[in-house]
Amino acid sequence: MNTQVNRDQFLAGRKKGIGGSDVAAILGFSPYKSPYQLWLDKTGRGERKESQNESAHFGNLLEDVVAKEFSRRSGMKVQRVTQQLSLAEFGETWAIGNIDRAVVNPEIAGRVFFKDGKLTTDQGLECKTASEYLSKLFGEEGTDQIPDYYLTQCLWYMKLTGFQVWHLAVLIGGNKFRMYRIERDDDLIESIFKQVKAFWFNHVIADVPPDPTCFDDVLHRWSNHVVGKQVEADFEHIKLAEELITVQGRQKADKAREDEIKLKIVSTMQDAEMMISQGKSICTYKEQSSTRIDSTLLKKEEPDLFAKYSKTSSTRVFRISNKFKETV
């Protein structure tokens, strides 16, 4: 069996809709991907990753171990569900998901199978591995106090399956095993579904990028500036620029607030190289070129060949105008 081909097919299938692992990104809960970056992936604009990172690799590798340990500790049987689930019967073919396991409920059936388009159980299981430094994000075992990016995934699967309970088992730091239980909350599930549906149709289907939520989004969307293009600053942006000067001048600058202010300003500038007020420059956002040594090639060649093997790259740099600083 060619596992790489199967994984490629799995990833290609996920582009046809929104899966459980996508939900947190749409809602702004994912520490790994912004809504804009997810939009790039879903519209085929994202950069193809040739291989999984080690965290994802071992997460997949240990999924079966976590599932078996959950079964041993809880006394509940679990089964794989290889078929991709969706809400196709409701016309929502884009709403998809691949659950880790279904949990057998003996009061419904002795094993899990599809009957009239539904699984013969009302409980599911999500298997996770997490690093030790994330342990503080988990609450008391047996509760539903888990990170939001896991919780939203479980609630999404409850929408797809109609299940009443979703269990989450997590191996933390390779030696701490915890089990959590999420009860169905229809109001929360429908709120999540409404937001996810809006993202799919208003952004993916309409091919309209969502607003940037981090500087990486801005750098990707407007990677080049238009020479000579200017954008007029309004009162809010003048006050933001003044605050930015104050923030940057502190001995310990508030980096989070600085990034938030710059994000608002550059999102307005888009591909403009300058923001002005009454003809005076407030700030610029221009490309900056730099030349660096390619160390890999340098090790193979003579130092005298530096010029031949050096390469130049460009990126946009945001700066507050010195003249504007003088007026603040």
- pLDDT > 70 in the chain, percent: 87
How confident is the model over 177-234, as pLDDT tens digits? Answer: 999 999 999 999 999 999 999 999 999 999 999 999 998 999 899 988 899 999 999 9
**pTM of the full predicted structure?**
0.77
Query: What pLDDT does residue 61 have?
Result: 85
Band (pLDDT 50/70/90 cuts) for residue 59 is: confident
Query: What pLDDT does residue 245 have?
Result: 86
Q: What is the mean pLDDT of residues 80-98?
A: 95
How confident is the model over 240-286, as pLDDT tens digits? Answer: 999 888 888 775 657 788 888 999 999 999 999 999 999 999 999 99
C-alpha closest to that of 154 among 191, 184, 111: 184
In this structure, are residues 149 and 24 in contact, taking their beta carbons and an 8 Å threshold? yes
307 SS3 class: helix
b (16+ CB within 10 A) / e for 283-292: bbbbeeeeee
Q: What is the mean pLDDT of residues 66-82?
A: 97
Which of 84-88, 128-132, 142-146, 243-247 is the least confident region? 243-247
Query: What pLDDT does residue 285 have?
Result: 93
User: Where do the structural domains in the chain lie, given as residue ranges?
Assistant: 3-205, 215-327
Describe the crossing of helices 20-27 and 186-199 by its angle, rounded to 10 degrees.
80
Which of 49-53, 149-153, 186-190 is the least confident region? 49-53
DSSP state of 164: S
DSSP state of 18: B
Query: What pLDDT does residue 298 have?
Result: 67
Return the half-sphere exposure (C-beta side, CA atoms, 13 A cut-off) of residue 55. Answer: 8
Q: Could you confirm whether domain 3-205 is CATH 3.40.190.10?
A: no
Q: Considering the chain, what is the average pLDDT of its residues?
A: 88
Q: What is the mean pLDDT of residues 21-49?
A: 92
Q: Residue 53 phi/psi, 5° resolution? A: -75, 170
Q: What is the mean pLDDT of residues 62-72?
A: 96
Q: How far apart are CA 122 and CA 169, in angstroms?
A: 17
Pairing of strands 85-87, 92-97: antiparallel
Band (pLDDT 50/70/90 cuts) for residue 238 is: very high
In this structure, are residues 171 and 59 in contact, taking their beta carbons and an 8 Å threshold? no
